[in-house]
């Protein structure tokens, strides 16, 4: 009796075929068994022909180059190396840098020698527990995010059946409420006065009244300033990476156009005038090919770490040692809400990934403002109607 076929072969696909259940299978030869001399044949599966073809092509290249790893023998370290090399296309450069750092400093030391298919949830849980002793919950969650993403791709490729780092299998430390320390109405003029003679004073002022991130400020160029329309276009940031600087998209890929206060645009006019004077003084030593807004005496862009150190020194001098440079951004956000900006507009101006995140960070300030609004209305009613509504 003739053997019943499992499914038809894909036209022109060689050893790829469609199975009776609708999925696709590709078979390939891994080599020969040294004991029996027989060919070692393996199969890979996928939902579509294209998916299987792509997997097969990757395996074929690996076999030809001698880099292929049998999933059953692959260690976590080997998989992490493959994942970083082949599956982070389209990820922003600063994110890739962070992933590589976490992989090198945490994941490979903890799991590198473990076989990928043998990694168990309890091993991952013990790892998280150990991290939580010396690291903040946010750091632990960041490390979890990298491990989970890498293992999820291994699940997609059928290298492992389930993801041992899934949140429903492991307990992560609870999120801590992010505490912010914006400068209030009295502290802002004190800070600016203390920074009057600092070379980074103009950058701090622009931060206070636009809420730009430090990497966006350092990377701001004059072609992004439209004095006629009164706008600032944010489409990239200057990233400080190991070994130098590089351009990157704004955080969350949120390109945006700000329409700051007229006085802010006047401030930029002043910065432009100062820079032209500095350029004349520097003569042929001037180097500002990128046309940065904020430069040193010879046209070089500001160094983010130096900007932070100067800020900390100024904050300490006015008895605010706990202030961080990022708090200038928070100061802008709170001032915007107090000036009447709605939360959606603020979220867009800040380049947040969602309005929900903006509410999570600044929601208690909106609650406070609503209460003050209620109190003002109560006083108005009392004064206008003699306390009788």
CATH code of 280's domain = 1.10.443.10
Q: pLDDT tens digits for 156-188? A: 888 898 999 987 888 998 877 767 899 998 999
Same-domain status, 57 and 29 = yes
Distance CA 80, CA 107 (A): 9
E runs forming strands in 206-243 = 225-226, 231-234, 237-241
Domain for residue 117, yes or no? yes
Same-domain status, 222 and 87 = no
Angle at 333 between CA 329 and CA 339, to 5 degrees: 140
Same-domain status, 257 and 362 = yes
User: Under 8 Å CB-to-CB from 99, ≥6 apart: which residues?
Assistant: 84, 88, 91, 146
CA-closest candidate to residue 242, choices 49, 104, 361: 104
Distance CA 104, CA 16 (A): 37
CB 230 within 8 A of CB 223: no
Distance CA 51, CA 22 (A): 13
Same-domain status, 239 and 102 = no
CB 281 within 8 A of CB 197: no
Same-domain status, 40 and 95 = no
Same-domain status, 245 and 143 = no
Task: Report long-range pairs for 134-141 (Cβ below 8 Å, ≥24 apart).
Answer: 136/176, 137/172, 137/173, 137/174, 137/175, 137/176, 138/175, 138/176, 140/172, 140/173, 141/172, 141/173, 141/175
Angle at 166 between CA 160 and CA 170, to 5 degrees: 125
Domain for residue 248, yes or no? yes
Residue 124's domain is classified under what CATH number?
Answer: 1.10.150.130
**Phi, psi of 72, deg, nearest 5:** -70, -25
CB 44 within 8 A of CB 158: yes
User: Under 8 Å CB-to-CB from 115, ≥6 apart: which residues?
Assistant: 72, 73, 74, 75, 76
* Dihedral-angle region of residue 296 (phi above 0 means left; psi in -120 to 50 means alpha; beta otherwise): beta
Q: How many domains does the chain have?
A: 3
Same-domain status, 58 and 86 = no
> What residues make up the domain containing 52?
16-65
**Phi, psi of 222, deg, nearest 5:** -65, -25
Same-domain status, 150 and 201 = no
Domain for residue 171, yes or no? no
Domain for residue 93, yes or no? yes
Distance CA 49, CA 216 (A): 44
Tell me if residue 42 falls in helix, strand or coil: strand
Residue 334 DSSP class? H
CB 240 within 8 A of CB 305: yes
Same-domain status, 283 and 152 = no
Buried-state track 161-180, b at ≥16 Cβ within 10 A, e below 16: eebbbeeeebeebeeeeeeb
Domain for residue 51, yes or no? yes
Same-domain status, 135 and 274 = no
Same-domain status, 209 and 132 = no
Domain for residue 330, yes or no? yes
Same-domain status, 267 and 141 = no
Domain for residue 381, yes or no? no
In this prediction, residue 6 carries a pLDDT of 47
- Mean pLDDT per block of 10 residues along the chain (389 residues) reads 47 66 81 60 81 78 59 87 90 87 94 93 94 91 95 90 88 81 93 96 97 96 97 94 83 92 96 96 96 96 96 96 95 91 93 92 75 71 70
| Chain length of the chain | 389
Domain for residue 146, yes or no? yes
Distance CA 44, CA 152 (A): 17
């Amino acid at each position: 009796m003739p053997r019943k076929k499992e499914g038809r072969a894909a036209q022109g696909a060689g050893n790829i075929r469609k199975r009776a259940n609708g999925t696709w299978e590709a078979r390939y030869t891994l080599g020969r068994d040294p004991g029996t001399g027989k060919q070692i044949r393996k199969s890979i599966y996928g939902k579509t022909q294209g998916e299987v073809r792509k997997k097969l092509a990757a395996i074929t290249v690996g076999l030809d180059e001698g880099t292929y790893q049998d999933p059953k023998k692959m260690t976590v370290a080997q998989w992490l190396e493959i994942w970083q090399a082949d599956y982070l296309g389209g990820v922003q450069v600063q994110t890739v840098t962070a992933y590589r750092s976490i992989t090198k400093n945490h994941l490979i030391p903890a799991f590198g020698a473990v076989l990928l298919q043998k990694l168990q949830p309890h091993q991952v849980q013990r790892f998280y527990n150990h991290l939580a002793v010396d690291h903040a919950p946010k750091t632990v969650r960041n490390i979890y995010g990298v491990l989970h993403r890498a293992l999820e791709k291994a699940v997609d490729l059928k290298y492992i059946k389930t993801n041992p780092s899934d949140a429903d299998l492991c307990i992560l430390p609870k999120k801590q409420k992010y505490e912010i320390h914006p400068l209030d109405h009295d502290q802002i003029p004190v800070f600016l006065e203390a920074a009057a003679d600092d070379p980074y004073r103009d950058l701090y002022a622009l931060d206070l009244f636009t809420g730009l991130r430090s990497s966006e400020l350092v990377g701001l160029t004059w072609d992004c300033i439209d004095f006629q329309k009164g706008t600032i276009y944010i489409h990239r940031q200057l990233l400080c990476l190991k070994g130098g600087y590089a351009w990157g998209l704004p955080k969350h890929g949120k390109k945006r156009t700000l329409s700051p206060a007229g006085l802010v645009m006047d401030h930029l006019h002043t910065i432009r005038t100062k820079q032209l004077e500095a350029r004349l003084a520097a003569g042929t030593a001037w180097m500002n090919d990128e046309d940065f807004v904020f430069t040193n005496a010879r046209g070089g862009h500001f160094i983010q770490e130096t900007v932070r150190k100067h800020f900390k020194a100024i904050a300490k001098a006015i008895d605010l040692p706990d202030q961080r440079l990022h708090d200038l951004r928070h100061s802008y956000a709170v001032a915007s809400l107090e000036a009447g900006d709605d939360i959606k507009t603020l979220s867009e101006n800040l380049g947040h990934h969602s309005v929900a995140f903006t509410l999570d960070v600044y929601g208690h300030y909106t609650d406070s403002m609503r209460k003050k609004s209620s109190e003002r209305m109560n006083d108005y009613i009392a004064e206008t109607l003699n306390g009788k509504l």
